[in-house]
Structure 1
Amino acid sequence: MNQHKSLLSQAQNQSARLQGLWQLATSRSKSDEEKAKLMLTLARDTLEVDTALIGEVDGGHFVIRYLVDGLGLFRANGICPLEMLCSAATRSGESTFFYQMQESEQFCNVEAVHASGVQVYAGVPIWVGDELFGTLVFLRRHPMAEHEFSKDDKVFMELLASWFGLMLLRTRQTQALQTQALTDALTGLPNRRAAELRFAEEIARARRDNSGFAVAIADLDRFKLINDNFGHDVGDEVLRQSSQIMREALREGDWIARWGGEEFILFLHHSSGDDAFAAVERVRLAVKAASYVTRSGNIKVSSSFGIGEFHLGDADMSRTLSEADGCLYEAKRRGRDCVVASEGREGTTLWRAGVLQRALQEQRVLAAYQVMVDLRTGKPVADEALARLKLSDGSMIPAGEFIEAAEGVNLIHEVDRVIAYQSMSRCTAALEDGFDPNFAHFVNLSPQFLARKELVEQMLDFAVAMCPCNVEFKENKPIVFEITERQLLSDFESMRKDVQPLLDFGFRLALDDFGSGYSSFLYLAELPVSFLKIEGWMVRNMRSNIRVRHMVESMVSLSRRLGIITIAEHVEDSGTAEMLREMGVDWGQGYFFGKPEL
């Protein structure tokens, strides 16, 4: 009877222990790390030992991955100070037990074992298939009352080791997937996502150390020609070799990532000014000096670099990256194969150009639409597409803050193209939804855009594709292109030729900022203008300046004789709107009627 009770008690204890193990293993509310620590604690308490640990094989050593240490001998996530504790069980590949550890052949001469006072040892190899992942180790300082672990104890340890094997496998697989997701497959470098994640760590470090840093964006010069002339496999080989050369040329502690395409980003610790320039110049020279061995022979490559400096007051990397972008653009403009450093002033044309160039690449130049109303009826009759630049943090920059930079670095035609296409797409959607086909959509076009015949032809092709077949137009199509009177042009014949294809298609022409320059009336004489937009300064000042008011009245009178619709810009209050209506101005545009909306 006593033997039966003893067996029943053992069975019940084993059942409770296994049930606890099962509940922990299947818990959905706990992470693997939480489960591991709780399981080790359960095992330590039910096996009546002092310390339980998982030693994982890592680079030829055993690393203590999980630990419940009642003896205070170890630390988690460190190399096991007693490799023999983990390797003792792996030599034979089977579970190993010592009940008088200090007298065992393996540990009798190990001073640390004697110093710790550990007497009892259990080591269970953690196998996953045929691969050894680690060892499950239990230690006890005092001799065991039962002299050795029971059969149930050993079964329990084997079950734990099996579960820990699956957990370690899952962890490795997850880490491998994360590494793969953050690694550029071609070069083996961290990819853009990895670099962006690391930026947050570097910013925190810089603030702790009260020290700034710099980044450089590198671009392989004329890389497209390599792909076009030799094939993409040769281009890939050049990317692989150049990335390795740049990595080796960096200073110790600095790092490089592939930013996209043939662009790389270099991170320079504790660097600014001349230090950063010298470090990047060394990389440029290394790239240029190398001979790239490919199946098509040896190829020489040069590279361009733009440097941006991080300031401790910056919230994130957006300003620094924009500076580097702008400097890279300037390096290209200067003829390539050079390094351009940032001046660190957010208001510079370089900074704005860098922001704009990146925004164009990432489709963050957007159209915001401002309504125009008929001053007689108060009804909306048109809208104007105004460029907006969306920063990486979601904030918007109005056109006035980057258009000048776009003109200065020859990107204005790209802004025009993007906004025109967005406006035409919106017009098409409105027509298909049954909106009034007489509602006009105004789009700004620069002389730089109009002078590029291929862009005009592409836009007309796009317009043909967008034009709904089920909509009939009386005479003209809804799109109106604005040219500004501020841009002084002497060759009106060329301008007429540039706009003629648009007029032939049925688009109309508006003259913007009328009254702001010297060539206003020449435009009216030489170009078939359908709309005249009165300059905003005149609209704002006509109520307080009688001479300005008379000038506006003259413009309205002249436009009426020429059959041109007048539009007053910058109408900001009801009094101005009423005065314009009384003067005979046809349409109004401004905050009084509505702000630009995306």
Structure 2
Amino acid sequence: MVEFYRRNPLSLRLVAAILAVSTLFATLAVGVQLYTDYRRDITSLGLRLSDAERTFVPGLVDSLWLMDEQRIRLGLDSIVTLPYVSYATLRTAEGRLYTSGRATNRGHESSHLYVLRHQDDKQQQWVLGELTLLVDKEEIFASLWQKLWVVLASQAAKTMGVTLVILLLLHFSLSRHLAALADVAERLNLNRLTQLVRLDRRRGHHPDELDRLADAMNGMQQRLQREVAELERVHALNRRLSAAVAASPAAMIIMNEQGSAEYVNPALCRLLELPEARCLELDWPTLLENRLSQGMLSSRPAGWLLDKVRQESWQGELLWRTESGRPRWLLAHLSLCRATPDEAGHVLLVMEDITGLKEFEHQLSYQRRYDHLTNLPNRVMAMERLEQMLLQSVQEGGHLAVMVIAVPAYKEVTESLGIAYGDALLQECTQSLNAALGEACFRARTGDDEFLCALRFGQSAEPVEACLQQIKKALSRSVRLDNLPVTPGVAVGVAVYPNDGNQPERLYSRALSAQQRARSQKEPVQFFEPEMQAASYRSLHIATALKHAVEAGELRLFYQPIVDPRTGDYEGVEALVRWQNAELGWVSPLDFIDIAENTGEIVAIGQYILREACRQARQWQLQGRNIRVSVNVSPVQFGEPDFVASVANCLKETGLDADCLKLEITERLLFASSEAAQQKCRQLADMGIRLAMDDFGTGYSSLSYLRDLPFDIVKIDQSFVRHMTRNSRDKALVRGIIDLAHQLGMSVVAEGVEDHVQLELLTRFGCDLMQGYYFSKPVPPEQLFSKEESSSCSG
């Protein structure tokens, strides 16, 4: 019963309430019924007594009037036999007492007094006595109690039956389903949201309260499931955000609206070199305001930063010194974060260490104005400095000399030894210039091998002359690079304000023109002259026209024979490019080759020369003249990543055998540290192409190239051949080169043979092949075999 009550308390309470109410109404009904019966019995008793009074009282009056005791007693006995009358007494007027029956004394008796009167013929009444009757209502009450118990028993049985039926109905139609819903609700947790409520009954067409309750619980579970999933997503996002904030390299502080720190991430502690507790104690708004107020002309009221953040976000840079005293540039961003519009919100302070960025900006600023190799001002700063010096000269009525200094050896060192040695040469030159020139002479590096010096002077030019002497002296000292003595050399161009211009760029341009004249004429110093500007314009015109020379078909190849001195036969020819422009006319290779290399046009020109030479050689082969063609390779062209592939494609397209192509490579092309260049040489040799080292002896490279690289031929530069008949040292050098090449199994070609004396001397030294004006100048292909028949392709 206890378990049933525990599981069905509502049903029992409902049953108890029904039972109480039904009992109350049954009690009221029984009370009304009993009271009605009581009143009916009392009324019936009264009627009987009235009948008895009409029946027995006259007889007793007559008996008393006649004084007939027997009749008196008989009358009393008759009265006692009446229902409910238990005792009767008659007291006569004389005081005599007659009784009949007996008193029960059960508490339900009542007495009724009747005055006995006799009326004579004269209508005169005589009081004869008093009759007292004791009426016993015990039977009435006994009957009522009997009815009460019968009614109570029947009502109790009926109520219990109805209650039991109601209890069963409540249990099967309501309580057990409510208990099932309660069990589901008790077991409901975040892990069991998918278990829907199903009542153990058939669902009607019209859902009742239980159906709606079950549907509501199922809907609640589904909503909870969605909300829990959303909460889990939000919690996961919060965890990721918390982890991201904790792992973020940016320093973060979360403050309440009053500015008190509530959270700091580890990056802030690392940045400021402070423990977390100390960071939380700091008054961040005041600290930021103090640091931002430093250097301001006007003070701001306390709390201005938070007031500003409440209106809009704020961002600024500030300098912070850490606990160890190290300065840190910080980019601070303050913003007010609110989850809802009505929320007070929190202040988020994000600080990023931009010290490295500041240093990088400073470095960029330095690099924008200074040369990283020499630490001298660069061209940008040089022009700014020239502007200042020119303004001072104008104001003071003085002069300004702008000197552009070139280091001729730089190009040869770079091409032969490599860029690192070229840089080392420039650094040596910088040290020499710094040591030789005083503070009054401004110095800058304005190009690869180009320095600029500027000197203000008065009416006397002696300071300029002294400065030029110091420059020549400083750059005439040899330095050692890769254990080789190298003299930097010097070519200085000078332009003077106000004679040569009154603007920095014009003075620099004219000094540069003078420097180019000094370089071309191999003079140490050259002052600007007006005609130099025309030469500069011509160089610019050449550079512009070269861009379209190949497409316009302005380039032609001339061929100079390479002769075997023993037989006079042509062993091969060297392809030499010539350029004829409609405006410039015939342009010497000495005028445009360097420009082409500087502008990069040499790659397209070199590719044209290679393809045209191979095509012409193949055409000669088809005509029965097997001839080997030599092609000069520019260092710029050779440096192209696809150079080897382009040579292979050229041979394939023209159909020329690789053995009939000879590539002439200068010493300067092979950088001492360029493994890639050496690898290209080996790849070309593996293809069957013959390699010749051109201009041997003019560079700074070691003889290890002859030993390690697959060269077939060594070409002696014409400068040695030209002077060997007059200079014993050149003659010995030529003979040594020939002997060395033969010992290494290589052939020797002498360039620039111009007379019979040179021919005989080279023949005596054992030179294998020769070329020069003595045999033939470079001629168009149609004139090459006018005097000499072709010879077969020989090794």
Whether the TM-score (by the shorter chain) exceeds 0.5 is: no
**Structure having the larger proportion of residues in helix:** 2
Task: Kindly name which structure, 1 or 2, has the bigger radius of gyration based on alpha carbons.
Answer: 2
What's the TM-score, normalizing by structure 1?
0.40
